[in-house]
Amino acid sequence: MKRLHLLACMVTVLAAGIGLVGGTRYARAAEARYMYSLPSIPLPIVLKGGALQREAFRHPDLLPIYGSSEISIQGDFSAVSVFHDFPTGFAPFEVASGGVNALVLAQQVAAVGPEIRGKKVVISFTPAVFFDKMIHPGNYRDKFSALQAYLLAFSDSLSFDTKQAAARRMLDYPQTLENDPLLRFALQRLANDSPVNRALYHLVWPLGQLRLVLLDLQDHRATLQYVWGQPLDPDVPHRPAAIDWSAMETKAEKETLASTGNNPFGIDDARWQEFWQKRFQTYKAAGVSEPYVLSMIQNSTEWTDLDILLRVLRDLGAQPLILSRPMPAAFLRALGVSDRVSQAFYARLHQVVEPYRMPLVDFAAYENDKYFSMDPDAHPSARGWVTIDETLDAFYHGTLQ
Amino acid sequence: MRFITELYSNPRVRLLALTLLCLAILVGLIVLYGRGDYSMHGFVYQDF
């Protein structure tokens, strides 16, 4: 009788094993097949998953771009529109959504793992994230992915120091770890630098790997469910064509000027009316001052998070382009904030990035061009997008100066 | 009932039944816990 039970269990394990291996292979094939036809909107399975991000790095004609709303808010001149048909040989694969910060990006990139080694990737952010003390817990919780957090905490491609720095920051958001005692325990052991804690971390390592197997299967399942539920056409045409950047700039400039007439800051008319006009009055009334903004920029934990992200990129051997945006100089000046703040931002940015010897484009030259961004959060205008598109094209083709 | 008892006394049938039971438990676990959390609710705007 016992032998029969044992045999039944063995048959089940064998069948489950075959099913899982076959299912994973099928899922990976489906992911590769539909990679190009995924819609260019922030998809939770992309943002919180790992499978599709890894798959993107397997396609040399896709340029992964990680960022926040400065990437995900799209228009006729945004990268996904301009490079949609692979005119110069590539299309962007965007992993971007509003409210994302460098700590979230670090986990998303860590989730790609060794697949990123030697590959080009763009990391985008705006100065606006450095105006806050730290990312809002609600925003962090919203973008938090257990899969990505586990992939970072139990990565064997990242150095212990990098994992430790990330763990210390991840523990600042305990709500995301409330229902996951294993992850919480591992992060606490990583954060506490002692031989006992290191030993305990290595002790739970196999459990972490086991949990990762399950989370990875969930990821493939979610991707398959999405692919099956959408009318996706895997045959996306590649239409090589030369881009006339000069003509595009002229067209974009015309569009930008036509939509920024109701305010002196070059802010998009609709945005000014809906949001920024009121915000400007509130800031003025609250006396947003130079020492206040300067202290926010100097003390923001975003610098720590950016450093963690850069460490992750370095450890994984990626070839990133760090893409910042110009400070909203005209808007800040109107609030009585001098250029000292902008200078402090650019100086700190270079100080953090330069030790990693990664190319950095800060667009500082455009900080007095009020038409580069469509609002003080540095969301690019049509004209700003064309300049960014040119930068992306040059980076992909290795001609970035 | 007698038919089922007789059938179940066959070792091959019992092996098949036990295997199906194990597989059903496994499928049940996958249905219950195989879904990841991919929910997103938008973001909070942070001013300076």
SS3 A376: coil
A297: distance to nearest CA of chain B, Å? 10
Measured CA to CA, the distance from residue A359 to residue A362 in angstroms comes to 10
Q: Tokens 């086991």 correspond to what residue?
A: A210
SS3 A62: strand
| Interface contact B35-A132, CB threshold 8 A | no
At residue B40, φ and ψ (nearest 5 deg) are -140, 140
User: Over the stretch A344-386, which tens digit does the pLDDT of each residue have?
Assistant: 999 999 999 999 999 999 999 999 999 999 999 999 999 999 9
* Statement: residue A241 has pLDDT above 90: yes
- What are the domain boundaries of chain A? 38-233+240-396
- What tokens does B46 get? 């942070």
Which spans in A171-273 are helix H?
181-191, 195-229, 245-258, 269-271
Measured CA to CA, the distance from residue A390 to residue A396 in angstroms comes to 10
Taking only residues 7 to 46 of chain B, the set having a beta carbon closer than 8 angstroms to any beta carbon of chain A reads 11, 14-15, 18-19, 21-23, 26, 33-44, 46
- In this structure, of A109-113, A177-181, A397-401, B42-46, the range with the lowest mean pLDDT score is B42-46
Residues of A in contact with B26 (CB under 8 A): 12, 16
> Side by side, which strands form the sheet with A62-67?
A91-96, A62-67, A120-124, A319-323, A360-361
What value does the mean pLDDT take over residues A112-133? Answer: 95
Selection from A305, A302, A313, A306 nearest residue A109 by Cα: A313
With contact defined as beta carbons under 8 Å apart, do A393 and A243 qualify? yes
Selection from A95, A33, A98 nearest residue A59 by Cα: A33
What value does the mean pLDDT take over residues A323-333? Answer: 94
User: Over the stretch A167-203, which tens digit does the pLDDT of each residue have?
Assistant: 999 999 999 999 999 999 999 999 998 999 999 999 9
Nearest CA in chain B to A48: B38
Cα atoms in the Cβ-side hemisphere of radius 13 Å centred on A114? 3
What value does the mean pLDDT take over residues B10-27? Answer: 89
The residue type at A46: V
Measured CA to CA, the distance from residue A34 to residue B10 in angstroms comes to 48
Mean pLDDT of chain A: 94
Measured CA to CA, the distance from residue A91 to residue A83 in angstroms comes to 5
| Interface contact A222-B38, CB threshold 8 A | yes
- CB-nearest to A4 from B14, B42, B44 is B14
- What tokens does A285 get? 């009334």
Measured CA to CA, the distance from residue A322 to residue A392 in angstroms comes to 11
Measured CA to CA, the distance from residue A194 to residue A188 in angstroms comes to 11
CB atoms within 10 A of CB A167: 22
Pairing of strands A91-96, A62-67: parallel
Burial class (CB in 10 A: 0-12, 13-18, 19+), A174: exposed
Beta bridge partners of A373: A380
Residues of A in contact with B40 (CB under 8 A): 42, 44, 47-48, 97, 142-143
Selection from A137, A15, A126, A124 nearest residue A63 by Cα: A124
From residue B9, give the alpha-carbon distance in Å to each of A21, A117, A281, A333.
34, 59, 84, 88
User: Over the stretch A272-295, which tens digit does the pLDDT of each residue have?
Assistant: 999 999 989 888 887 778 888 899
What value does the mean pLDDT take over residues A146-155? Answer: 98
Distance of CA A377 to the CA centre of its chain: 16
- What tokens does A23 get? 């299912």
User: Over the stretch A36-60, which tens digit does the pLDDT of each residue have?
Assistant: 999 878 899 999 999 999 999 999 9
* Statement: residue A321 has pLDDT above 90: yes
**Percent of chain A whose pLDDT exceeds 90:** 83
Q: What band does B47 get if pLDDT is binned at 50, 70 and 90?
A: low
pLDDT for the residue B31: 83
* Statement: residue A21 has pLDDT above 80: yes
What value does the mean pLDDT take over residues A152-166? Answer: 97
Residues of A in contact with B47 (CB under 8 A): 131, 279, 283
pLDDT for the residue A290: 86
* Statement: residue B48 has pLDDT above 80: no
Q: Tokens 């039971």 correspond to what residue?
A: B21
What value does the mean pLDDT take over residues A27-36? Answer: 94
pLDDT for the residue B2: 80
With contact defined as beta carbons under 8 Å apart, do B14 and A201 qualify? no
Measured CA to CA, the distance from residue A279 to residue A292 in angstroms comes to 17
